[in-house]
Amino acid sequence: MLKVIAFNRLSQTAYLCLGLLALILLPWLVGFTGGNYWVRVLDFALLYIVLALGLNVVVGFAGLLDLGYIAFYALGAYSFALLASPHLPQQFESVAAVFPEGMHFSPWMVAVFSIILAALFGIILGLPTLQLRGDYLAIVTLGFGEIIRIFMNNLDRPLNLTNGPKGITAIDPIQFLGISFAKPLDLGFVQIPGLYLVFYLFLLLAIAVAIICTHLQNSRIGRAWVAIREDEIAAKAMGINTRNMKLLAFAIGASFAGVAGVLFSAFQGFVSPESFTLWESIVILAMVVLGGIGHIPGVILGAVVLAVFPEVLRAIVQPLQNVIFGHVLIDAEVIRQLIYGLALILIMLYRPGGIWQKSGTK
Amino acid sequence: MSDHLLLDVANVSKRFGGVQALDSVGLQVPYGSIVGLIGPNGAGKTTFFNVITGLYPADSGIFLFDGTSYFPESVSEVTKSGLARTFQNIRLFGEMTVLENVMVGCHCRSKTGVLGAIFRLPASKREEQSIREKSLELLAYVGLTEFANMQARNLSYGHQRRLEIARALATEPKLLALDEPAAGMNATEKLELRELLLRIRADGKTILLIEHDVSLVMGICDGLTVLDYGKVIASGKPADVRVHPEVIRAYLGQGAV
Amino acid sequence: MDIFLQQIINGLVLGSIYALIALGYTMVYGVLGIINFAHGEVLMIGAMVSLSLLRLMLDLTSGLPTWLILLIVLPFTMAVCAGVSYAIERIAYRPLRNAPRLAPLISAIGMSILLQTIAMMIWSRNPMTYPQLLPSSPIDVWGSGATITGKEIVIIVVALMVMSGLLFLVEKTKLGRAMRATAENTQIAALMGVNPNRVISITFMLGGALAGLAGVMIASNYGNVHFYMGFIPGLKAFTAAVLGGIGNLQGAMLGGLLLGLIESLGAGYIGELTGGVFGSNYQDIFAFLVLILVLVFRPTGLLGEKVSDRA
């Protein structure tokens, strides 16, 4: 008996090591076969994993449909954009005076700041709305997301805070211990391209977030969330302060998005309101739904599939149409939207537990 | 003398639109007793439960629990102060396992917060362990140990009712308010329930019971209050209440008492 | 005072359109207790379909008076929209009647995306111009400086006529009684011989037809259509329905008109009120603010929710 347990433990650790090794080698493999474009796709996929896990806390654990989730991502992204780019010093002489060398706040400081900011906004949004029924909550959060986007789009007058639809450019890249992730890292025996460094960083973040979510799920707090999701009245009867628990879910989910936003901003070097539309909120929702609402491994899978698949599609479908029809009949973007729409409907109709269901779900 | 009363409510009224669901209802539950709240269907018994636990706000009433006066506004606060209830239409957390349902009941008596949960601090791990142990004990107490890892929605009806009781007990209540715990049970299950309730009382808890099963109620209740059309029509020892003319009249259409 | 009357007129036009769309939301909420998230897309389909029909008619005929063309195109458009709305219910809602509450909502979101994508494929991803068939020259109103166009008058009048027709249908006909009964208590209505599924389908179809009409109005008023045009009006009309009291027909009409006025007056005066900090480009925010305020402070709306809480 002990031998079996020991063997299982051994094989588990072995699998874990193999898995980690595979992940470490992944960007090299992809970069070699597909080029930088595909490594970028992977980098974004990791960001989406963080976002999907964050939304999963709100939708999957506490059962609150937040259709304005992308707003928290926007808050994080714009925070860093404003604190680490030439925009504010250029617009306001008073700022330029305080920061003669420009604003170059470190992404880590801004990340901490945006965790607090996003959580705060999450609570502000949640306080008046958490007593609402599911569908009302969805629409109100949608409205909130739109309000944030409208502000981002219009706060370029009378004072130019966000540069409106043009967005903010020349944002500092990610820096860690003096190493800039925009340039390759020269280790002597190997040169690690910046994109690969970003991959490893985002991978660490995604793993950290996944672990945090798992710990929360298997705790007193996670149980309370599921109870609220299943039957809020019964949850109250258990002595659970449902309002505070829901606010907590909102705040935690928001803070994940805030951090992801900061990193996105630094990675892309440029932000504009177009990256933060309702469609993006729906994309993340689709990832959570596809993976199985509430099921952490499923959500990760859903995020990866929905982040990578449309790119694969784009690479195949357009040349294919050219070959068959001589020109592109249906744009890859349109196909992507079609798939998302169908996925949401079909999953709800035929496999509501997601493509990778939690064991025990019927 | 109300210092021997765990629950002492008076003048409780509640109106829904055109219907006076509760009309100056008063109820006393002495410590360590089993009190039954009976009456024909629609008399207002569940409404009464909903009011004293804060699910519906009362229009008026004086509420004394464990010597302290309270106005029932927040269901979770009422539970925390020691009044736990079960529901007429079973409200288990269907997706969770039987054990997890009971563990949720321990929520208000534990304190691990976000940081403790995320970082798995030693104190949190210890608390989680003790929640687990306590829940297993409660399952054993109600006789559901073998189903611990089964999904709650797959339990038989009678077992689900017992699970609800276990879950309510997990909140460490002083008063256990049960809404028709015997509904839908067969004779054997009812006997087992009877045993369970007596055991719960013997272990120092007080029980307030809504029930339709007359023999069960007559057998274990120390006191009865009878509700009809939102009003209390009789109150006292079971033997006395049974022969009360108002009570007989109220039940006449339902079959002889 | 100079822009006040103008904004009132604009508000009434806007409000009539919102009211038509809001009726669809409120009727569906009445019988099913859910928000039809995909409703906004129906109005977009209405605009698109009418665009195609109008282009067809304008190509095929010449010399036909414009009002006649509209009179022919409109019923077809409304019928198509009724069909689309019917399909939405059958595909996204009916199979999920007993599913957890989030499921039909997510499914409706998917439906919304699907409809937008279909519009992209059938028509175009880019905005298209809409033929102006109604008089758009401004008519001076009582010499006050405010103007109204023939088009706007038609919109208000037609909307009023249709709304009265609907009220008549609901209050005075057998079908209307069946709808009201189903909204009150579906099970009892079924016991009384009402076929709930049929009533629900008809409710969706009526709402869809109204949305289609609204879509044509919006397209006429702004002169263009695009696949995303249903989203914002849909959201605002939902706000209007909630403002008036969801489930309540008169509420939807009142809410629609009120919201239109609030939005117009707000957009007109916000520059003055905020000293130029916020301009009319923030117009869309008003609806969202109204929504949040109503849901927080008076969730039953102005005229009260007609449907009881399904606790």
Residue range A76-131, pLDDT digits in tens: 999 999 888 888 888 888 888 888 877 888 888 899 999 999 999 999 888 888 77
Would an 8 Å CB–CB cutoff place C32 in contact with chain A? no
pLDDT classification of B103: cutoffs 50, 70, 90: very high
CB contact under 8 A, A236 and B91: no
> What is the structure's pLDDT at C2?
66
CB contact under 8 A, C288 and A129: no
Mapped onto helix, strand or coil, the DSSP state of residue B229 is: coil
Model confidence over A186-198: pLDDT tens digits? 777 778 888 888 8
DSSP A67-84: TTTHHHHHHHHHHHHHHS
Q: What are phi and psi of B204, to 5 degrees?
A: 100, 5
CB contact under 8 A, B95 and A230: yes
B3, pLDDT greater than 50:
yes
CB contact under 8 A, B55 and A220: no
Q: Give the residue among A220, A150, B148 at the shortest CA–CA distance from C289.
A: A150
Q: What are phi and psi of A231, to 5 degrees?
A: -165, 100
* Interfacial C residues in 38-97 facing A (CB < 8 Å): 91-92, 95-96
Q: List chain B residues with CB under 8 Å of A238.
A: 76, 79, 104-105, 107-108, 167, 170-171
> What is the structure's pLDDT at A160?
81
> What is the structure's pLDDT at C311?
32
Which residue in chain A has the smallest CA separation from B171? A238
Rg (CA), chain C: 19
Task: Give dist(CA A166, CA A164) in Å, integer.
Answer: 5
Q: Quick one: A279 exposed, middle or buried, by C-beta within 10 A (0-12, 13-18, 19+)?
A: middle
Q: List chain A residues with CB under 8 Å of C39.
A: none
Task: State the nearest Cα–Cα gap between C53 and chain A, in angstroms.
Answer: 23
Quote the tokens at residue B34. Answer: 């089993």
Long-range contacts of the stretch A212-215 (C-beta < 8 A, 24+): A212/B118, A213/A53, A213/A56, A213/A57, A213/A296, A214/A296, A215/B117, A215/B118, A215/B119, A215/B120
Task: State the nearest Cα–Cα gap between A255 and chain B, in angstroms.
Answer: 13
Task: State the nearest Cα–Cα gap between B34 and chain A, in angstroms.
Answer: 21
Contacts of C198 (CB under 8 A, 6+ apart): none
Nearest to A136 among C102, C284, C295 (CB): C295
Quote the tokens at residue B96. Answer: 């969770």
> What is the structure's pLDDT at C305?
63
DSSP A146-213: HHHHHHHHHTTSSS-SS-GGG-B------EETTEETTS-EE-SS-EE-HHHHHHHHHHHHHHHHHHHH
Task: State the nearest Cα–Cα gap between B95 and chain A, in angstroms.
Answer: 8
Quote the tokens at residue C128. Answer: 């298209």
**Torsion-angle region of residue B89: left (phi > 0), alpha (psi -120 to 50) or beta?**
beta
Which residue in chain A has the smallest CA separation from B168? A238
**Residue A130 in contact with residue A243, Cβ under 8 Å?**
yes
**Higher per-residue confidence, A103 vs B232:** B232
Which residue in chain C has the smallest CA separation from A125? C292
Chain A to chain B, count of Cβ pairs less than 8 Å apart?
Answer: 96
Task: State the nearest Cα–Cα gap between C56 and chain A, in angstroms.
Answer: 23
CB contact under 8 A, C105 and A289: no
Q: Residue B223 is which amino acid?
A: G
* Interfacial B residues in 118-177 facing A (CB < 8 Å): 118-120, 124, 127-128, 131, 151, 167-168, 170-171
CB contact under 8 A, C99 and A352: yes
Task: Identify each DSSP E strand in chain B by its residue range.
Answer: 5-16, 19-30, 34-38, 60-65, 68-69, 83-85, 175-179, 206-210, 223-228, 231-236
CB contact under 8 A, C105 and A138: yes
Contacts of A341 (CB under 8 A, 6+ apart): C110, C111, C112, C113, C114, C115, C116, C117
> What is the structure's pLDDT at A359?
57
CB contact under 8 A, C106 and A348: yes
Which residue in chain A has the smallest CA separation from B79? A239
CB contact under 8 A, B171 and A233: no
**Residue C139 in contact with residue C150, Cβ under 8 Å?**
yes
How much is the pTM?
0.87
CB contact under 8 A, B96 and A224: no
Nearest to C235 among A128, A136, A143 (CB): A143
The label of the residue with tokens 């304005």 reads A68
CB contact under 8 A, C105 and A343: no
Model confidence over C131-153: pLDDT tens digits? 887 777 777 777 667 788 888 88
Which residue in chain C has the smallest CA separation from A346? C107
CB contact under 8 A, C104 and A138: no
Q: Are strands B223-228 and B231-236 parallel, antiparallel or unpaired?
A: antiparallel
Which residue in chain A has the smallest CA separation from B94? A230
End-to-end CA distance of chain C: give it in Å, rounded.
Answer: 48
**Mean of per-residue pLDDT scores for chain A:** 86
Q: What are phi and psi of B171, to 5 degrees?
A: -80, 5
Which residue in chain A has the smallest CA separation from B120? A215
CB contact under 8 A, A223 and B103: yes
Q: Give the residue among C275, C277, C244 at the shortest CA–CA distance from C258.
A: C244
CB contact under 8 A, C296 and A128: yes
Nearest to C276 among A147, A158, A345 (CB): A158
> What is the structure's pLDDT at A358?
63
Span B169-184, average pLDDT: 93
CB contact under 8 A, A237 and B79: yes
Mutation target for A interface from C34, C113, C122, C307: give the one with most A CBs within 10 A.
C113
Model confidence over B202-225: pLDDT tens digits? 998 999 999 988 888 888 999 999
Nearest to C295 among A67, A132, A338 (CB): A132
CB contact under 8 A, B100 and A220: no
Long-range contacts of the stretch B94-97 (C-beta < 8 A, 24+): B94/A230, B94/B151, B94/B152, B94/B153, B95/A226, B95/A230, B95/A361, B95/B151, B95/B152, B95/B153, B96/A223, B96/A226, B96/A227, B96/A230, B96/B151, B96/B152, B97/B148, B97/B149, B97/B150, B97/B151, B97/B152
Would an 8 Å CB–CB cutoff place B91 in contact with chain A? yes
Q: Which of A9-18, A42-51, B83-92, B131-140 has the lowest mean pLDDT?
A: A9-18
CB contact under 8 A, B96 and A222: no
Rg (CA), chain A: 22
**Residue B72 in contact with residue A236, Cβ under 8 Å?**
no
- Walk along chain A (362 residues) and give the pLDDT tens digit of each residue: 566 666 677 788 888 888 888 888 888 888 888 888 888 899 999 999 999 999 999 998 878 889 999 999 999 999 999 888 888 888 888 888 888 877 888 888 899 999 999 999 999 888 888 778 778 888 888 888 888 888 888 888 777 888 888 888 888 888 877 778 877 877 777 788 888 888 989 999 999 999 999 999 999 999 999 999 888 899 999 999 999 999 999 999 999 999 999 999 999 989 999 889 888 999 999 999 888 888 899 999 999 998 988 888 878 877 887 778 777 777 778 888 888 899 899 988 888 877 776 654 43
